[in-house]
Amino acid sequence: MIRKVFKKKPSEKGKIDAFLEKYNLPKAYLSVNRRMVTRGVAVGLFWGLIPMPMQMLAVMATTPFLRFNVPIAISMVWLSNPFTMPPMYYLEYLTGNLILGKEGIEDIELTVEWFSANIGDIFIPLYVGTAFYSVIVTGAIYFLLNWLWIRSVHSEKKERKDERAKKISKNNDK
């Protein structure tokens, strides 16, 4: 089922292949298989959970070292956007404080002056929480997606096998 979502349409293959050849890009960057898609999700989530500017450039800098589906990785980075960043980074900050055994700052103000004055108290717990989510949660999601993909493929094979068995028994009954 999952594979069907990502299958290419025959009419689009020529355009994509021409684009890849024109810019001398490996086909693996747009491959739609279990390894490339799950790696793309993992790489995109990893960089998307880190509070830093230009996360998409970090994804692109990772491409020579890991092969993954680049469009999926870039779309996963977009999960951290101006609407999701404040609660996401606050949760990372709270998690960092929990891991470090610290009490967090109670009177938080969403002003530039307040952040400038308290950056030293925020920075280490934020990045400890970020490391937890970037490594542990991204790894768990990677393995979960792999398991779901494999399970989906097995269920599709079982359905096809059952359909063939029904057709054979139907033909034998005649």
Chain centroid, CA 78 distance in Å: 10
Q: Rounded to the nearest 5°, which phi and psi values hold at 105?
A: -75, 130
Q: Considering its fold, how many domains does the chain have in total?
A: 1
pLDDT in tens, the chain (174 residues): 555 655 555 555 677 778 777 777 777 787 888 999 999 999 999 999 999 889 999 999 998 898 899 999 999 999 888 899 889 988 999 999 999 998 878 777 778 888 888 888 889 999 999 999 999 999 999 999 999 999 999 999 999 888 888 888 777 766
Q: How far is the C-alpha of 39 from the C-alpha of 47, rounded, in Å?
A: 12
Inter-axis angle of helices 34-48 and 55-62, to 10 degrees? Answer: 140
- Tell me the residue range of the domain where 109 lies: 2-173
What is the CA angle 163-164-168, rounded to 5?
120
Alpha helices (H) in 27-111, listed in sequence order: 34-48, 55-62, 70-77, 85-100
